[in-house]
Structures are given as C-alpha cells and as structure tokens.
Structure 1
Amino acid sequence: MVIITNNPMVKENITKKCIFFKDKTYVEVLKECRKLIHEGYELLSHPLYGSVKPNETPFRSVIMKEGKALDLNSVTLIEEAINTAEKFQGNKNTPNWPEKILDDFRVIDYDIFDNTLKRIQYI
C-alpha cells in the first residue's frame, strides 16, 4: 500500500505505511498519482473523496496499491479527478487561508483518509 499526500498530518501520524509526502498543490498530488497509475499502481481510495471542493482545501491524500498492469478504472478515475480539480481551480483558486483554517483542512483530510484506510484494511 502506498499513500500519496501533501498533508503533513498524514505524514506525521501514519508511520507503518509507505508514504510519499509531496510539497505540492492538490492538483499536483493527483498528477503524481496519475504517474504511478501509468507505472502499474491502482487507486484504493477515490481521488476526490469527501465533500470539500478541490478549490477550497489545499490538502489531498490518496491510497494506492501496486498492481500487475495498467488499471483502466484507475486511469479513468484519476483523469476525471484532475479535470474536475482543474475546473474548480479555474473558476476560483484556493484562498490563501490563515493557519487556523489550514489546520482545519488538515484534520478533515486526515480524518477522511484515516477512516478510508481502516475500511480498506478490513476488506
């Protein structure tokens, strides 16, 4: 299992998994996932999970696993996610939030990520 994230809270709290922490934007994290998908990885979590819009939060964490071949479902999901995120960013960029609001977004991303990780491990 591999985790791609730009959320420092995920990096700090998840120590037993392979984490690729990227100091990148929301869309750039999705594009990193796309690169891995084209190398044979598969999405385990939806790249747009949660109800926070891609232009509201700067944080995204995605769970993936190594696959055996190009997974077309993952390709479709990540391309749609990138297009959606870029469309939202094109309409209105992510605000320059104060640190307290950024902390809230870190917690939201971490909480959704952690719950998703727990569900995946029980499947």
Structure 2
Amino acid sequence: MKDLVIITNNPKIKEKFDELKIDFAENLSDVYSKSRDLVHQNWKLVSHPLAGSVKPAQNPYRSIILAPAKKLDFYSLNTIENAIQKLNQFNKNHKMREYSQKIKEDYQVIDLTLINSALKN
C-alpha cells in the first residue's frame, strides 16, 4: 500500500492518510490532469475517477488512487481521458456553484468515503 499515491484536492484525505503519498492539487481539473500525467508515466488507476453517483463537477472534491505499473496501462489512460472529457463537458454546460462551508465539508466526506472503500478492496 505504500507504493500508492493519492491525487486529491480534498483536505480530509490529506489529514486521514498521512502514511500514504499524497499529491495535493489546487482544484478539480488539476486532480484529473495530474492523474493523467502519472498514467502516462506508467501508473495505473486503482480508484475510478468518476466513482460515486455525483457528477464530476458537482462535487468540487475528488481523489484518485494510482499504483505503479510496468508499462502504459491503456485501460487507465482511456478511463482518465474519458473522465476529463466528462468534466470539461460538464464545465462547459454548467456554471460552477459556490457552496457553503457545510456543503463543502459534506462533499469532502463523500470523497473520503469513496477512497476508504477503494483502499479496502
């Protein structure tokens, strides 16, 4: 498990998983682009970038787990590219909302729960 990296913009992930390598991103788009960059460097997705029932840009927090791979994982590449397309499409068609601190914390907990679940598998 120590070989894993989590790309996230969720402060709760950073607090909870201090034993894992965390790459903290500024925003949602950066989470996806940093993950794609790692996939191009022979990392593979452990968690799905569109996990959960919340649309990509509805939850302003996202965490993606990756693990080292021996070669380019085309499934991971296709998956992250599709997720980026969905995020871009959603951003183009919808205005980003401003959320209260309470709602932001709720979204952080949702993301944390998804990552906890992925790490248990």
TM-score, scaled to structure 2 = 0.93
CA distance in 1, matches of 2:17, 2:32: 20
Deviations 1:26-56, CA, capped at 9 Å, x for gaps:
1221111000111111001111100111221
Identity among equivalent pairs (%): 40
In the alignment, is the contact (CA less than 8 A) between 1:45 and 1:64 conserved in 2? yes
Aligned to 2:90: 88
CA distance in 1, matches of 2:106, 2:97: 14
Correspondence 1:3 to 2:9: no
TM-score, scaled to structure 1 = 0.92
Q: How does 1:11-90 map to 2 (within 5 A)?
A: 11-23=14-26, 25-90=27-92
Extract unaligned runs of 5+ from structure 2: none
SS at 1:90 equivalent: helix
Runs of 4+ in 1 over 3 A off after TM superposition: none
- Residue 71 of structure 1 deviates from its aligned partner by 0.8
Extract unaligned runs of 5+ from structure 1: none
